[in-house]
Structure formats: structure tokens, C-alpha cells
Chains A and B, each alone.
Chain A
Amino acid sequence: QVQLQESGPGLVKPSETLSLTCTVSGGSISTYYWTWIRQPPGKGLEWIGYIYSSGSTKYNPSLKSRVTISMDTSKNQFSLKLSSVTAADTAVYYCARLLAAYYHMDVWGKGTTVTVSS
């Protein structure tokens, strides 16, 4: 049974880079798409981007200039970097497995809260 776990700093200063890692257990990262989603406090879900096992990526156009998603197959992990953060980037960040058949996300991590504050 595939499980995902997000990890990374819970507090990031404004203008710095947010960095999170998602560790995949119970299955190989070398297949499927892997994606990041976030949810600001009291608001809805926002798709950030995804990476395929080949390394190809797609990003939300509204975040594209600040986002990088990468993967490390040797560690069975994929990562998110979001640069030049502001308070608007404060959110719960989720990683999930994305299945290409219907672009649906069948396995989610529990989420990690990131607060942007000085």
C-alpha cells in the first residue's frame, strides 16, 4: 500500500524559498505522476504542479515563475521549491500520486503546514 509523507520546515521567512520533500513508501516513485497541492487556511485546494517519472514537469501558470518540482529516485522522494514566498503562501501543503488515466489523485499525504512569517 503506497503511503506519502511530507516533510520540511514549518516556518519560512518572507522572500526566502520554501522547500518540502515527499517520501513515497510501499511503491516505487519510478512510475506514475507525483503532484503538490496546497490549501491556505480556511480556503480551497490549489494545484501547484506535478512531475512524471521521466522528470518532465507541469506547473500552475499562476505559480510557474516561482516553482520547481524535482525527484530523487534513489531516495524514492520528490520535492517542491517555492521561491520568494510571502504571507499568501502560508498553507497546508499536500503531496499526492496522480494517475494519468483520469488525472485523479488516489493517494495523498497527510499534509504539512507551512507558515510564512518573519
Chain B
Amino acid sequence: SSELTQDPAVSVALGQTVRITCQGDNLRSYYASWYQQEPGQAPVLVIYGENRRPSGIPDRFSGSSSGTTTSLTITGAQAEDEADYYCSSRDSSGNHLVFGGGTKLTVL
């Protein structure tokens, strides 16, 4: 299976823009999805596909990709965005799923 690599921790000042990245060779072939997880809660899907947001997800969340890197961008980060963020995608076989190790986002 393939691996997805994320920075363990990222911080952003309140109201500023932050980009959380996810790297993996399989991302050349498959889109990633992004999940937000607050402490003690189940993950919530925030971005999937090319740059799609589920209903109810604020439009300050967006996604992009280039080569082997996919990114989640939060434009105008809010205090409530402080959480762990995980990327996920299909592995190189296309039959299995893999998750990145997660990024802890701190909003200062």
C-alpha cells in the first residue's frame, strides 16, 4: 500500500490563511479527501474530490492538488477550526484506503 505524509502540527493566527498538506505518490492518480476531527469526536468530511465541500461545511475550506501533493486551505481561520485534520486516498492498487498521519492545527 501507499503512504500519505502530513506535517504533525501547524499553527495559524486567527483570521489568517493556513495550508495543510498531504504528500503521496498515489495522489498522482487519485483525489484525496480531508477530515476534521475535534477531540473526542468522530471525523467529519470537509473536502473531497477535486475541491468539493459537503453541505454545511463553510466555504473558507478549500482543496487543491498538484502532482503528489494535495492541500487543504482554510482562508480566514476561526477558533473553531482548531482540530486534527486527516487526508485519505486510495492506495496505488486502487482497492484500498490509506490515511495520512494527521495534522494538529492550532489557531493562535
A interface, CB within 8 angstroms of B: 35, 37, 44-47, 50, 58-62, 94, 98-99, 101-106, 108-111
Contacts and interface: CB of A to CB of B under 8 A. Distances in A.
Contact of B97 (A62, A94, A103, A110): A103
Interface of B: 1, 30-31, 33, 35, 37, 41-45, 48-49, 52, 54, 86, 88-90, 95-102
A109 B44 CA distance: 10
A73 to B, nearest CB: 23
B33 A102 contact: yes
Contact of A103 (B1, B43, B90): B90
A47 B30 CA distance: 17
Contacts of B101: 44
A64 B42 CA distance: 24
Nearest to B1: A61
A44 B90 contact: no
A99 B49 CA distance: 11
A58 B96 contact: yes
**Residue from A58, A104, A110 having most chain B Cβ neighbours under 10 A:** A104
B26 to A, nearest CB: 11
A63 to B, nearest CB: 11
**Residue from B31, B45, B90, B97 having most chain A Cβ neighbours under 10 A:** B97
A21 B99 CA distance: 23
B49 A44 contact: no
**Residue from A46, A98, A108 having most chain B Cβ neighbours under 10 A:** A108
A56 to B, nearest CB: 10
A106 B99 contact: no
B99 A108 contact: no
A45 B49 contact: no
Given A103-B90, A109-B42, 11 more contacts: A44-B86, A47-B96, A47-B97, A47-B99, A58-B95, A94-B43, A103-B88, A103-B97, A104-B49, A105-B35, A110-B42
